[in-house]
Chains A and B, each alone.
Chain A
Amino acid sequence: MIQTLFGTVEQEPTLLDRLKSGVQKTRAGLVGRLEDMLQGRKEIDADLLDELEYTLISADIGVRTTQEILERIRERVDRSLVGNAAELENLIREHLLEILQASEHAPARVTQPPAVMVVGVNGSGKTTTIGKLAHRYLHEQRKVLLCAADTFRAAAIEQLEVWAQRTGTEMIRQKPGADPAAVLFDALQAARARQADYVIVDTAGRLQSKANLMAELEKMRRTAARVIPDAPHEVLLVLDATTGQNGLEQARKFTETSGVTGIVLTKLDGTAKGGIVVAIARELNIPIRYVGVGEKIDDLLPFDPEKFIESLFSK
């Protein structure tokens, strides 16, 4: 039935089969394995630490952060402060919490109306997050204005418009292909005139390595500040929880060009743990503001470090 037009389909190498069976042993959840690991073991030995390293890395926490945690544990083991494996979990939790809480700081007081710019790479969930965010603000009896500044991607404006309708929010738009800074300018002026409490700005997804697109964000910032002093007051980086170590680079570059003030971690309803935010908090001191946990309008929750760590440790 199936013909191959361009050549034959290759045989699956046996190596793959072997690797496959190895990967299948992977169990969801940090602590699933931690528990397995700790079961029946009282001593902390090199094997256990190795296993622990793998466990932390599998949550995308990253090699550096993982090694730092292990260093701490080794130290304590050497000083006999941690005698048994059961104390390990608490130690790890404590350390993670420390990292996450260190980056927490309250949003600065801002001039009205606050402009919230939402940035991120392609497909991270910016538009959906804006829909949910608008819903949240409206719930607080705030008047929200949406700004459709993703003028690049096909049907991005329409997508935001659907969210505007769902939430009953006004939206400022221009034609596809328009200068995003111009749309932003319009939106901020409209926000002033209509006395909106919040302006939420959608931006086109962009990979942080594209210098010209990142420069566009800088320009948008400058434009915003011309209409409302200190705007944008909040710049939220939307980060997909499935993102691996590149997330750190995303946070770094977006912060450089657009002054990220907080992170929204999306798609946490899958099996990905989003551990990269720990590395981000640790290295860049950027707080996580919200987490996205589904496609429904109220599936956006304020970030709670303790719960987040709990989720890292749950299956």
Chain B
Amino acid sequence: MFDNLSEKLQRVFKNLRGEGRLTAENMEAALREIRVALLEADVNFRVVKQLIENIKQKAMGEEVLTALSPSQQVVKIVNEELIKILGSHESRLRFANDPPTVMLIVGLQGSGKTTTTAKLARWLSRNGHRPEMVSVDVYRPAAREQLRVLARDLNLPVYPGAAEETTPADLARSARKDAATSGRDVLLVDTAGRLHIDDQLMTELQELKEQLSPVEILFVADAMTGQDAVKSAEEFHRRLGITGVVLTKMDGDARGGAALSIRHVTGQPLKFVGVGEKPDALEPFHPDRVASRILGMGDVLSFIEKAEELIDKKKAVEMQRKLIENEFTLEDFRDQIRQLKKLGPLESVLSMMPKVGMLKDLKNVKVDEKEIVHVVAIIDSMTPQERANHMIINGARRRRIAKGSGTSVQEVNQLLKQYAQARKMMKSFSGGFLGKKLGKMKLPMSFEM
């Protein structure tokens, strides 16, 4: 997300780099670029106008007189302004003293409410809650069936609804009763998608709100939304008083300027982002991370957090030692691939990396997951001695390995070449700048596919 915006801003700052200091003239050019970039990122134009005004004032003001270079300064100011709008704190869900806590999931058609409801239920149950779900979408064909299937796969309860319960109000009422009697502490109510200008359906939501007194009313918004985001968000907020926003489809390449627009028109925090179709593809929203990502610093924090969760630290430390002492064997190479695989599809791992400097070209890397399976198979087909010392792998051994792994000698050759390259590359990194970086991240991840 936001890749293109960050690229644009980087270009702006690159141009600024040559200048000694911020002047009205060079700032004008930078501001124009920032403005176009924000507009292309679908940030609402009124919001852009205000942002540019704020950035201009700050840049021209006394804050200019600091030790930073002009480009650093502009980066800092833009970053601060974006964070200010996105919200300076990470926002959490609230719960009622008196369970079950009712959360109403609302939004336009196709924004991703049902998927989000299931993801939230999973997230809640992972965080010590006992959620129940109900779909009150009596309009869209198979909408309730969709939630039922998702709930079944998650092994979480969904209120099925009796035959005579045909209205959202009926369904919600019984579901709450059901949640209370079965000791569920959160009830997620998935509502039908509707247009903000559909008075009848908006009134229906207001009635549901009155009936259920939800603690959270979460507005689900598509990250790809354009200028219209402010209108729908504003109207949903006006009618219902939403308490938070879930931004979906952030795994795509939409720049997601809607996040800024919605945040400001409603003043309500973004609480989660949806980053995939699977039920675990939901992450808490981190305003600072998104802002730094906008600026091209990459979502490094998210990445490290994920890596730490999954990667065996001891192994990583050991790997580092080996790297430095040049004991990095094919076995380590395989371990490394396996550890990386745990982070998720490699493309999404790579997308979290900063797009600067030598890693810039990573975004064009298309990772063939099948190839990784082949690589692991090839290494698996080697003897322990071969894995420890790749120098002994001669032609006959290569043929055997290819046969054993169901690949070809060419593929084995290629792997050995890649391994040798990776070894060389890592050795050169271990002393240099990136080596330190990776060292901090406790993550050996610089092999080439």
Cross-chain contact of A122 among B91, B215, B265, B277 (Cβ < 8 A): B277
A258 proximal to B (CB < 8 A): no
- Say whether chain A's binding surface is mostly helix, strand, loop, or mixed: loop
Q: How far is the CA of A3 from the CA of B215 in the complex (A)?
A: 10
Given contacts A10-B89, A26-B231, A154-B146, contact A244 B257 (CB under 8 A): yes
User: How many angstroms between the C-alpha atoms of A60 and B93 in the bound complex?
Assistant: 33
In angstroms, Cα B148 to Cα A19, docked, is 41
CA A208 to CA B251, docked complex, whole Å: 10
Does any Cβ of B come within 8 Å of A102's Cβ? no
Q: Is B405 an interface residue (CB 8 A)?
A: no
Residue of A nearest to B269 (CB): A10
In angstroms, how far is the closest chain A Cβ from the Cβ of B110?
3
Q: For the complex, what is the distance from the CA of A258 to the CA of B284, rounded to whole Å?
A: 34
Q: Which residue of A lies closest to B92 (CB)?
A: A6
Within 8 Å CB of B63, what residues of A?
A: none
* Cβ contact within 8 Å between B142 and A244: no
Instruction: Report A87-141 residues with CB < 8 Å from chain B CB.
Output: 121-125, 127
- A15–B139 contact, CB under 8 A? no
A207 touches B (CB below 8 Å): yes
Stretch among A34-42, A195-203, A217-225, A270-278 lining the B interface: A270-278
| CA A118 to CA B375, docked complex, whole Å | 37
Q: How many A-B residue pairs have CB under 8 A?
A: 216
Say whether A270 contacts B228, CB under 8 Å. Answer: yes
Q: Does B84 contact A (CB under 8 A)?
A: yes
A295 within 8 A of partner (CB): yes
User: Which of A51-59, A183-191, A304-312 is near enough to bind chain B?
Assistant: A51-59
* Stretch in A68-76, A77-85, A156-164 touching the partner: A156-164
Partner of B42, one of A54, A124, A163, A246: A246
User: Does B175 reach chain A (CB closer than 8 Å)?
Assistant: no
Interface string of A242-273 (1 = CB under 8 A from B): 11111101100000000000000001011111
User: Do the beta carbons of B140 and A243 come within 8 Å of each other?
Assistant: no
B92 to A270, Cβ gap below 8 A?
Answer: no
* Residue pair A9, B94 in contact (C-beta under 8 Å): yes
CA distance A19 to B91 in the complex (A): 21
Residues on A with C-beta less than 8 A from B145 are 154-155, 158-159
Residues of A within 8 A of B408 (CB): none
Q: Is the CB of B44 within 8 A of A121?
A: no
Least Cβ distance of A14 to chain B in Å?
10
Q: Give A58 to B257 CA distance when docked, in angstroms.
A: 13
Point out the residue from B40, B143, B148, B369 that lies within 8 Å of A245, measured CB to CB. B40
Question: Interface residue count for B (Cβ, 8 Å)?
Answer: 75
Stretch from B218-226, B380-388, B389-397 that touches the partner: B218-226
**Known contacts A245-B40, A246-B42; A60 and B92 CB within 8 A of each other:** no
The 0/1 profile, CB within 8 Å of A marked 1, for residues 25-49 of chain B is 0000000000010011110111101
Distance, CA A121 to CA B87, complexed state (A): 29
Residue among B45, B153, B232 facing the most chain A CB atoms (10 A cut-off) = B45
Q: In the assembled complex, which residues on chain B have CB atoms less than 8 Å from the CB atom of A54?
A: 45, 49
Please, which residue of chain A has its CB at the minimum distance from the CB of B98? Answer: A1
Bound complex: CA A4 to CA B94 (Å) = 5
- Hey, which chain B residues are within 8 Å of A271, CB to CB? 195-197, 228, 231-232
Q: Are B108 and A270 in contact (CB under 8 A)?
A: yes
Inter-chain contacts of B94 with A (CB < 8 A): 2-5, 9
Which residues of chain B are within 8 angstroms of A272 by Cβ–Cβ distance? 226-228, 231
Report the separation of the CA atoms of residues A295 and B141 in the bound assembly, to the nearest whole angstrom.
Answer: 11
Q: How far is the CA of A26 from the CA of B347 in the complex (A)?
A: 39
* Chain A residues close to B by CB (< 8 Å): 1-7, 9-10, 12-13, 15-20, 22-26, 28, 54, 57-60, 62-63, 121-125, 127, 152-156, 158-159, 161-163, 176, 207-212, 240-247, 249-250, 267, 269-273, 275-276, 295
Q: Told that A121-B252, A207-B252 touch, could you supply 9 new A-B pairs with CB distance under 8 A?
A: A7-B92, A60-B226, A123-B222, A125-B110, A153-B146, A154-B147, A242-B226, A245-B40, A270-B196
Nearest 7 A/B pairs, CB to CB: A244-B226, A123-B110, A6-B92, A162-B141, A244-B42, A155-B146, A207-B252
